[in-house]
Structure 1
Amino acid sequence: MIPDDALAWLIYEWLLTHQGVSAAAVAARFGVPFDRVYRALRALRDLRLLREQDDGPGRLFAVSPNEAQAELVLPLEQVITATKRELAVIHDRLRSFADSFHSVRRAGRGDDAVVFSRDPEQSRLLLDDAADNSKAEVSVIRTGVDNYGVRAPKGNADPDVELVRRGVRLRALYRHTARTNVEVRDYVRELVGAGAQCRTTNELTDRLTIVDREVAFIPVQGESQAVAVVYEPVIVEYLTRLYDHTWAAADEFTVDAAGYGETLDKVRSTILGLLGAGLKDDVIARRIGVSTRTCRRHISAIMQELRAASRFQAGVVAARSGLMDRTGPAHHSSGVME
């Protein structure tokens, strides 16, 4: 039996050369029940590809797709265009208040040192507003491959690339394990090509965005959709110092070479340290930003390399061999990374 979509296409193709026929003639031509012909004709009418002759009701005529598009799509495009204009006006009106808002925050005269946003859309708008009005620097920590960009794309333009192109310094920190992800590497290549700076380090437990060293966006513990927007200068300055400390010890994100490169030993040192701390595989995987399966492959490779029969023995051998050096999590504390 011919599927309904295919039947509609066949009927439309036949009507192109048999204009002015009736629905009964269509049913007779294709030898299918009238209810199926009716559904196919209704689908064509909905797409504006079929109409009846004004002076002869019941006589069907096929319509060109261009004419159907003009009738069906153009009104929608006009609504979209009008909505975009309205959004632009709203953004411009809000932007006119931005300088006063940020100057008050900088002067410490704001009533709210921390603002909590539990609406993802509101959080995005707050971040977009801060970044769009940034003048000097945006520093970010990205903790997963699903949020490797700083902000969501706007149309065809990536806002982070545009940020760099207008002269704002962009620093982005990723986990070492992000180096093995093709999408992250391609995105970082685009950022670096525009002039951004990207580095990787051992452990990054949560996201962070600092704009112009004046406002910080941090996640709220236990609330996955909540964001705290910090304006208090003392707290923002502290977070910025922690970020600078982590940044100085991080490795440049080299995008031309696939895999971990020179950071593989550091990744394994981190895993050994977490094994020595007694953490389970799934916890270690979350800490270093990989799947549990990938984490277990790392652990298996480490145990084979150390010729260890157990995780405990691997930790003992690694400690005696100096493999868990002072760059590992058991010895390194930056505040941002803990």
Structure 2
Amino acid sequence: MTGDNATGGHKLPETDINLFSDLPMIGEQASRIYRFTVGRRFFSKEDIADGLDLQPEEADKSLQHLLQCRLIRRLEHDSGRYEVVPPDQARTLLLGAPVRSLNRLMQQVDTLRAEFAKLVPIYEASLARRMSSQAVEIVPDLTTARDLISELSARCEKEVLTAQPGGARPREILEEAAQRTIELLERGVRMRTLYQYSAQFDNATLAFTERMAAKGAEVRAVPHMLNRVIVFDGEAALIEHHEGSAGAVLVHDPSVVAFLAAVFEQHWLSAKPLLLEYDREHVTSTSDKVKQEILRLFIQGEEDKVISRRLGMSTRTCQRHLSDIMRQIGARNRAHAGYLISERGLLTLLPD
């Protein structure tokens, strides 16, 4: 596909890239010679060599470079003598053709950008509708996933259920979600969100949830691992891709969406309200529940990295909790801890 057919009637100018890459730089030596000659009406190679103590070859090379930069020119009646060219004039002589080519290219880029921009609303308006024709659709990238969330949110009338695994959420994600969530709540849409306990120790996430709660959002927390999911009106759901890519999976099958909503409800019933203000007793209770989950995963033989990922915390935090647990139960090492926990029922030492 070439020529006009490739650009819908607009042909990109054939810009010579070498026109830009081969432009000479002036440099320190050329500036030194230009400074020496600028006060002379005419000069020769010998004048430069004698005046600046240069070898004839070096003086000749420098003159050729100044000629290339258009900062000097040969006299018409004497090719061995030169005169200085004003910098503004030299700049025009040197850069005129490249700048004209660049301006033509930029005009073409602006035209194409405007034409592509006209197509964006058309694409976005049909994105969710087009995908809803299939029960399950792979959303290939993060940008498309965000477009879908925005469109499905705009069409939502009753309730949005969201489960957010892990601990702290990136600030840019929170900022993006804030306006969309506020618009939903102001339209009377119910908004319920599940976090993991580890989210309670991130200031940015807490500030976001406090702001949303003031608008009417409901937020609770659970100690165990969640799968990321957003359910819109019980009719459509976005779930994370199993490969952990930046994309997602859009589900429209009624049975699958109903199952995802039911799983969310089970978690919601056992979850605790996310505390937005510091409370020592609550923090202690939360820490105990986290340790209990760590114990359960530990006796199942899971590695520290797996445990920390499932509980939404860093590996270092997970290891610190394990050290506290080992000290609490009197374990000499990890193997001894596993023995004490599984053989003596020490898992019951921590509250349910």
Per the alignment, do residues 170 and 182 of structure 1 end up closer, same or farther by CA in structure 2, a change over 3 Å counting? same
Match of 1:237 among 258, 265, 270: 258
Name the structure 1 match of 2:348: 322
Percent identical pairs in the alignment equals 26
Q: Determine the C-alpha separation between the residues in 2 that align with 1:239 and 1:149.
A: 27
Q: Does 1:222 align with 2:248?
A: no
Per the alignment, do residues 98 and 206 of structure 1 end up closer, same or farther by CA in structure 2, a change over 3 Å counting? closer
Match of 1:213 among 225, 234, 237: 234
Name the structure 2 match of 1:139: 161
Name the structure 2 match of 1:263: 286
Q: Determine the C-alpha separation between the residues in 2 that align with 1:173 and 1:150.
A: 19
**C-alpha displacement of 1:319:** 2.0
Q: Does 1:301 align with 2:320?
A: no
Per the alignment, do residues 320 and 296 of structure 1 end up closer, same or farther by CA in structure 2, a change over 3 Å counting? closer
Alignment of 1:63-102 (within 5 A): 90-91=120-121, 94-95=124-125, 101=129
Alignment of 1:1-338 (within 5 A): 90-91=120-121, 94-95=124-125, 101=129, 110=133, 112-145=134-167, 147=169, 153-154=175-176, 158-257=179-278, 260-310=283-333, 311-316=337-342, 319-320=345-346, 322-323=348-349
Q: Determine the C-alpha separation between the residues in 2 that align with 1:258 and 1:291.
A: 23
**C-alpha displacement of 1:58:** 6.5
**C-alpha displacement of 1:317:** 7.4
8 Å Cα contact 1:171/1:196 also seen in 2: yes
**C-alpha displacement of 1:150:** 11
**C-alpha displacement of 1:309:** 2.1
- In the TM superposition, what whole-angstrom CA distance separates every residue of 1:253-291 from its partner, at most 9, and x where no partner exists? 011116735322211111111111111211111111111
Q: Determine the C-alpha separation between the residues in 2 that align with 1:303 and 1:224.
A: 36
Tell me which moved more, 316-325 or 137-146.
316-325
Q: Determine the C-alpha separation between the residues in 1 that align with 2:190 and 2:344.
A: 40
Q: Determine the C-alpha separation between the residues in 2 that align with 1:128 and 1:318.
A: 52
- In the TM superposition, what whole-angstrom CA distance separates every residue of 1:8-52 from its partner, at most 9, and x where no partner exists? xxxxxxxxxxxxxxx97xxxxxxxxxxxxxxxxxxxxxxxxxxxx
Aligned residue for 1:225, secondary structure, equals: coil
TM-score (norm 1): 0.62
Aligned residue for 1:322, secondary structure, equals: helix
**C-alpha displacement of 1:145:** 3.8
Q: Determine the C-alpha separation between the residues in 2 that align with 1:321 and 1:202.
A: 16
8 Å Cα contact 2:167/2:196 also seen in 1: no
The residue identity in structure 1 corresponding to 2:292 is S
The residue identity in structure 1 corresponding to 2:148 is L
Stretches (4+) displaced over 6 A: none
TM-score (norm 2): 0.60
The residue identity in structure 1 corresponding to 2:149 is L
**C-alpha displacement of 1:142:** 0.8
**C-alpha displacement of 1:204:** 2.2
**C-alpha displacement of 1:220:** 2.1
Per the alignment, do residues 261 and 138 of structure 1 end up closer, same or farther by CA in structure 2, a change over 3 Å counting? farther
Name the structure 2 match of 1:18: none
8 Å Cα contact 2:164/2:226 also seen in 1: no
8 Å Cα contact 2:304/2:318 also seen in 1: yes
**C-alpha displacement of 1:119:** 2.0
Q: Determine the C-alpha separation between the residues in 2 that align with 1:318 and 1:187.
A: 43
Name the structure 2 match of 1:17: none
8 Å Cα contact 1:161/1:191 also seen in 2: yes
In the comparison of the two structures, how many residue pairs are matched? 254
Where in structure 2 are there 5+ consecutive unaligned residues?
1-33, 36-85, 89-109
Q: Which has the larger radius of gyration?
A: 2
The residue identity in structure 2 corresponding to 1:268 is K
